Amino acid sequence: MTEITSINPATGQPIRSFPLQDDAAIDAALQAAAKAQRPWRLAPVAERVKLLTRMAAVLRDGKARYAEMIVREMGKPIAEAVAEIEKCAWNCDFYAEQAPVFLADEPVPSSATISVVAFEPLGVVLAIMPWNYPFWQYFRFAAPALAAGNGAVLKHANNVPECALAVQEVMEKAGAPKGLTATLLVDTSKVAGIIADPRIAAVTLTGSTEVGAIVASQAGRALKKQVLELGGSDPFIVLADADLDAAAEVAVKARYANVGQSCVNAKRFIVEEAVADRFADLFVAKAAALKIGDPMARDTKIGPMARGNLRDTLHGQVERSLAEGAVLRLGGRPLDGEGFYYPPTVLDHVRPGMVAFREETFGPVAAIIRAKDADEAIAMANDSDYGLGAALWTGDAARGRALAARIDAGAVFVNGMTASDPRYPFGGIKRSGYGRELGVYGIREFVNIKTVWIGPAT
């Protein structure tokens, strides 16, 4: 393969083709990043974070154009695409303010004159990123990594090359040191060699569990640090004492945001039997009201899926679930016409073991599952290979806090929607990956946590 072609998922038509970089171009990018990172790591944190402030300004100035790129290449409704750019800028501002605090030396009482824990950069980090949040996934990683003194090389998903190049444009407009960041448009077959290259110090991946296992093995052979944010089949638990109207309203947003194409979308709606019928009726009515259409329209809630093969996979999961006994309440078949549209779909009476229960459904399909009580609901929530996020709805906040401790997940939101936020860590357990992004823990993933001891004591 010598080029990649961007496809508009709303029409199925090509947008533009981009030449792939050869080995010489890859080598030049890695050499430039390694060279630029050496003085960057020595710059004071207070100086490094000025770049983040400029990144935020560039993102805000170009918000409309960048949002349109997202819509054009992966089909996200325009209102959500604008929000994605705004969130990227917020993340940059957050780390510009907090990085000096997060990276400050930590004194350790000891017998030495001085003993501290210092947080120093690892080097150049390779970021392998997905298409579903083509700006956010990068800036979520890059802002803390750059503030910590690292370099950043991006290998983006091959269906969003325009967004991938725009990310590098942002860095150049913000005045990043020449070569410190780079976007590589390369075939997937080149990734293993890039990971193994000694100029790459660590790897971060957001993507499927299957790809995560491959990248982990490649990075492991090279003894390089990894952060993996992988798949999810997040439970959304609704107990009998919950505010059902509020729960259903948030549940629909939690399932169908980004056309259901997020690892942290709620996917399994586990409801106590006493209120399951009522919740299911509310959920179906609210899902049916979502407007499907042109993703460039401000009132569109459901745009196309990003690729035709993703839609085919999702529809296959729906058909297999129905064959296993699930009940179709809404949607359930691809829409006719151009583009990769799949309507909001609701499967009711899903049971453990069914496809919609055990597999990640990466698209606008919700599975409603009935539990006899809270204990069974928690057991069902934990009956999954994944452990990214979870939501739990109850009228008793103290009970919610106690039950949250029993849920296997990297995050539990009680009476709310699971979401990422620069202020607290984000990541999963089990087959949802390991390591954390965001918050203080995220900025410390790609640092050398160094003990510095100066003695003897006086």
Count of C-beta atoms within a 10 Å radius of residue 457: 10
Catalytic residue, from 88, 92, 163, 263: name it: 263
Q: Is 229 a catalytic residue?
A: yes
Q: Which of 229, 272, 360, 437 is flagged as catalytic?
A: 229
Q: What is the side-by-side order of every strand in the sheet holding 151-155?
A: 181-184, 151-155, 124-128, 202-206, 225-229, 433-434
Cβ(206)–Cβ(130) below 8 Å = yes
Which residues sit opposite 154 in a β-bridge? 127, 183
* Torsion over CA: 198, 203, 209, 211 (sign): negative
* Residue 229 structure tokens: 């944010």
Taking a C-beta distance cutoff of 8 angstroms, is the pair 374, 239 a contact? yes
Residue 440's closest CA among 87, 103, 205, 120? Answer: 103
Q: Is the dihedral of CA 291, 294, 295, 299 positive or negative?
A: negative
Radius of gyration (C-alpha) of the chain in whole angstroms: 23
Instruction: Give the separation between CA 166 and CA 170, rounded to whole angstroms.
Output: 6
Pair 300, 78: CB distance under 8 Å: yes
Please, which residues have CB within 8 angstroms of residue 457's CB and are 6 or more apart in sequence? 111, 112, 113
How far is residue 408's CA from residue 348's CA, in Å, rounded to a whole number? 24
Q: Which residues are catalytic?
A: 229, 263
